[in-house]
Structure 1
Amino acid sequence: MEERELDKRLHIQTVGVREWVHQSSHYNRYEATPYEGMDFLFAQHEILVSGSFVDFGCGKGRVPFYVHHRYSIDVIGIEMNSVLYQDAMNNLIDYRQAFPKKRGMLSFECCLAERYELPDDASTFYFFNPFSLDIFRRVIQNIVRSIELVARPVEVILYYPTADYEQLLHNHSLFEKTAEIPIAHLQVHDDQERFIVYTYKKP
C-alpha cells in the first residue's frame, strides 16, 4: 500500500522529503520512516509500553502518530524546525478529530533535542539520523542522567543508523545491542536499512 494511502488512514500528511536552503551541518533533512519498515519493526520487537515513547527529530510526526495509534501509550515528538513542527501540529488536529477516544497522550515539542527535559517515565527513544554525532552524544548523556535520577527500563531504537551512531552506543558501557532487525527483503534502498535496538544496562 502506498505511503499516501497509509497517511490517509491516520488522517495525517507526512509524505515527502524536505531539504533546507540554509541546512545546518548539525541537523539533517526531513524524511519519514517508511510505514512498511515500522510494520516490520513492531512485528519483530515489542517496545516498552510501560513508559512513554520519544521520537527525536520527529518531523511531521509519522512515527509518533503510528506508535500512538498502535499502542495507545504516551508519545512525544521532538522537532527543532518550526515549519515541520507546525506540520505536525496540523496533523495532530486532524488525528484527534479522527480518533477522539484513543488512550494515551500525544504531543509535540518545538525545541533543540539536547535541551529537551525528558519525562521521568520516558522509556523508548527513537532516532532516524536526525542530527550530528555531537548532538546525538549529548542526547544520550541526557538519557543516562535521567535514568540515574529515576531508575527504569530504557531502550534506544536506531533506524538506518550511521556508523558513528552505532559506534557511540557500541562503545558505551551502559548500553548493549539487544536486537538487529534487517529489512532488506522489503523494497528498500540498501542493506543498511535496518533497525538496531540498544537496551540500558544497570551499572
Structure 2
Amino acid sequence: MYLKKNAAIFVRESFHKLLYIYDSIVVKFVKRKDGVDFRKNVLPENLGEDYDYDKFVHYVPSRSWQIKKVIKILKITENDSIIDIGCGKGKAIYDFSNYKFKHIGGLELNEELAGIAKENMKILNLPDVEIYRDNALNFNNYDKYNHFYFYDPFNFEIFKTVIHNILENYKKKPREITVIYQHVRDHDKVLNEIDGFEMYRSYRNPVRIIIYKYNPSRKG
C-alpha cells in the first residue's frame, strides 16, 4: 500500500512537471516569434512605489493547461465576459482570448506591468481586450464582467475588500457571477462568509483552485 501510494504521487508530480515544461516551451516560442513578454517572473520589490510588499504578490504567469481546465468547468458561452484581476503581463488574458468570451479585460495596479500587458495585446493583435491600469479596490467597471479571475494577486484583507467592491458594482447589473481563485491560501474564507456565494468546484492542479458562484437568491 505504501509503495502504491508513493508511486501514485510520483506519477502525479512527474505529470505536472511535464505540463510546466510544456507550458514554458509554448510561452518561450510565443515570445521568440512575436516579441511578447510573458515569461519572466517579477518580484514585488522590483515593481516600484505602487506596491505594498506585505499586501501584494509577485508576478507569475498563469499556466495554459490550468486555464484550459477552468474554462472547461465553466462551460463558457458567447454571453460571458471575464476579467483577470492583477493581470500582470497578461498571460491569462492571452489564454482567455482562445475562447468565445464577449469581453475580456485585465486589471493591473503597476504601471510597468500594465504597459507590458497592453503592448503584448497589441503584438498579438487582440484590440478588443481591455487592459486597465487601476486599483482593484476602487475600480468601477466590474459590472461589465461576470467571471472574475485571480491568480493570487494579493492578501486576504485586500481580496475581501475587492470582493465587496465587485458586489457593489453587481447592483448596477444583477447577474450570476463567478469567482475563480488560483493558488488559494485562506481566501475561500472570504467567500464562505458572504451570503449568496456557493462553492462550485475546488481541486488541485497542482495548486489549489476554487470556483465560487454568486447569486443573491441563495441568501439564507
Secondary structure of the corresponding residue to residue 134 of structure 1? helix
Q: State whether residues 19 and 30 of structure 1, in contact with CA within 8 Å, keep that contact through their aligned partners in structure 2.
A: yes
Offset, 1:121: 3.1
Alignment of 1:88-127 (within 5 A): 88-96=117-125, 105-127=128-150
Q: CA 1:8 to 1:73, structure 2 compared with 1: closer, same or farther past 3 Å?
A: farther
Q: Identical aligned pairs, as a percentage?
A: 21
Give the match for residue 181 of structure 1.
203
Q: TM-score, normalised by structure 1?
A: 0.83
Which residues in structure 2 correspond to 1:1-203 (within 5 Å)? 1-6=22-27, 8-9=29-30, 11=34, 12-21=36-45, 24=52, 25-47=54-76, 49-96=78-125, 105-163=128-186, 165-184=187-206, 193-202=207-216, 203=219
Q: What CA deviation, in whole Å up to 9, does each residue of 1:24-74 have, x standing for no partner?
A: 212111111112211222233324652321111000001112112222431
Letter of the structure 1 residue corresponding to residue 210 of structure 2: I
* Number of aligned residues: 188
Q: Which amino acid aligns with 2:177?
A: V
SS in 1 for 2:163: helix
Unaligned runs of 5+ in 2: 1-21
**Structure 2-normalised TM-score?**
0.77
**Distance (whole Å) between structure 2 residues aligned to residue 125 and residue 111 of structure 1:** 16
Which structure would you say has the larger RCO, counting Cα contacts within 8 Å and 6 or more residues apart? Answer: 1
Give the number of the structure whose alpha-carbon radius of gyration is greater: 2
Deviation of the 1:182 alpha carbon = 2.3
Contact 2:76 / 2:101 at 8 angstroms: preserved in 1?
no
Higher helix share: 2
Question: Contact 2:43 / 2:59 at 8 angstroms: preserved in 1?
Answer: yes
Corresponding letter in the other structure for 1:170: N
Amino acid at match of 1:198: Y
Partners of 2:67 and 2:104 in 1: how far apart?
15
> Where does structure 1 lack aligned partners over 5 or more consecutive residues?
185-192
Separation (CA, whole Å) in 1 of partners of 2:159 and 2:142 = 18
CA distance, structure 1, for counterparts of residue 91 and residue 102 of structure 2: 15
Q: For 1:161-200, what per-residue CA distance to the aligned partner results, in whole angstroms no more than 9, with x for missing partners?
A: 111x11111222121101123224xxxxxxxx13211000
Counterpart amino acid of 1:110? R
Distance 1:125 1:48 in 2: 15
1:159 maps to a residue whose letter is Q
RMSD, aligned α-carbons? 2.1
Over 3 Å counting, the alpha-carbon distance change for 1:120 and 1:68 in structure 2 is same
Per-residue deviation, residues 96-132 of structure 1 (Å, max 9, x unmatched): 1xx67xxxx3010111111111243310001111112
Check the 8 A contact 1:175/1:198 in 2, yes or no: yes
